[in-house]
Amino acid sequence: MTYEFDLFVIGAGSGGIATARRAAEYGAKVGIAEFDRLGGTCVNRGCVPKKLMVYASHFPELFSDAEGYGWSPVQSSLDWEKMITTVNNEVTRLNGIYQKMLDNSQVEILSGYGKFVDAHTVVVGERQITADKILIAVGGHPTKPNILGIEHAIVSDDMFNLKEQPKRIVILGGGYIGSEFACIMNGLGTEVTQITRADMILRGFDDDLRQEIQQGMINHGIKIVNKVQLIAIEKDAEGIKVTVRKDGETEDTVVVDVVSLAALGRKPNTQNLGLENTKVKLHDGAVVVDKYSRTDEENIYAVGDCSNNINLTPVAINEGRAFADTVFGGKSRTMSYENVPTAIFTNPEAATVGLTETEAREKYGDAVKIYRSRFRPMYYTLAGKEEKTMMKLVVNQDTDQVVGAQMVGTDAAEIIQGVAIAIKMGATKANFDATVGIHPSSAEEFVTMR
């Protein structure tokens, strides 16, 4: 049978665009459907605008730090509207770049929702197309939990469109998205309360990392309320009232301008895709795939957040390129989910790669040895601040292999990226010890820990 496209991609986020372009490089005729702006969550409502706001939030501290180095005090105020406009203008610029990249790759863009008619047929608006291979790359969306008064809250996506800076905000959720937004808003001058049901923020990360970040956030003025059993939201003339109850304690009410559901879960965008017209299976809303990103329908594949492996932009991109290399490039390869580094752009910043201490002990038992260091970086001595950096190596003593690394502190993401290469290659503690450190730097601590 002759098809209109060799590959048709549903969803033009980072994973979908990377796949489409890579397949086109191999000579495939490719089409892609997108109902929203190009770039997906990362470019439009996630990594990019969020990181720009992280940068903006750091300037007040930099102004203060400068005084310790002899600079005169700086009196400055934030123009919220200008910042938000500038951030969104950059997003628009990136949308245009993605458009040019797809055009240059001769990938045809169809505007609208893609929906399966059968395993080889997709309808987009009024147009029905056929394709030999079809890739699902529709990403995910934030969810609203069943909380009384939830209609008065916004989701994390909406943070980039607030017309005015809130004076007071409650962040519901203790995941990395919520923790990042708590730090962003605190740095920009908003009074922040972060509420989580867990005993500590950032569940799933290394416990030392979690403790260090939470205490650092508290030191910077963020109120964190853990172990909350009940949450209710109510709007009145004073603002938005958030009432919480902790086990065995009386109720506590916080009055704010904005309540953000920044970290209470995301779900794959797999509704209304017409998957019932195919053999594609779902598990908890996520597309079930094998190691080659292939579904139970042999010509249909899925990558990125909609398949719910590791929900990170670089993972989606790598999954998509591995698929294109295998199917269209004749270079069979799969995505490895071991030792994927990740960062948390809180204040203090954190980054991690490999196993947490808990995971390592579950896997290797008493063979695990921990190397840990906590110190004040040189930068903060003249600034007169007690900011701390924590570094940690997790080692399997049976092989001397470094199986995990954690860092909390300035430039953690930049430093862990390099450490991740070593861990991915199977470096031992002896390899770390034999590496000459760069002095004076915080990074040298990773090769001097005893």
Give one DSSP letter per residue of 36-66, joined into a string.
Answer: S-TBHHHHHHSHHHHHHHHHHHHHHHHHHHH
Token pair of 372 as six digits: 């840990």
d(CA 291, CA 334): 6
Alpha helix positions (H), 348-402: 357-364, 379-383
d(CA 320, CA 301): 9
CB 350 within 8 A of CB 212: yes
Token pair of 134 as six digits: 């079809």
Token pair of 18 as six digits: 């990377």
Give me the amino acid identity at 207.
D
Please state whether the peptide bond connecting residue 348 to the residue before it is cis, i.e. omega within 30 degrees of 0.
yes
- To the query of whether residue 283 is one of the catalytic residues in this protein, the response is no
Q: How wide is the angle at C-alpha 158 spanned by C-alphas 60 and 287, nearest 5°?
A: 120
CB 385 within 8 A of CB 65: yes
* Residue among 120, 220, 283, 439 flagged as catalytic: 439
Q: Which residues contact 237 (CB under 8 A, 6 or more apart)?
A: none
Q: Which residues contact 88 (CB under 8 A, 6 or more apart)?
A: 49, 160, 161
Q: How wide is the angle at C-alpha 32 spanned by C-alphas 27 and 35, nearest 5°?
A: 170
d(CA 343, CA 407): 9
User: Exposed e or buried b for every residue in 350-387, given b needs 16+ CB within 10 A?
Assistant: bbbbbbbbebbeeebeeebeebebeeebebbeebebeb
Among candidate residues 214, 246, 215, the one with its CA nearest the CA of residue 228: 246
| Main-chain dihedrals φ then ψ at residue 391, nearest 5 degrees | -125, 145
Q: How wide is the angle at C-alpha 343 spanned by C-alphas 342 and 347, nearest 5°?
A: 165
Alpha helix positions (H), 250-312: none
Helix, strand, or coil (residue 290)? coil
d(CA 334, CA 165): 45
User: What is the H or E stretch that residue 3 is in?
Assistant: none
Query: Which residues are known catalytic residues?
Result: 439
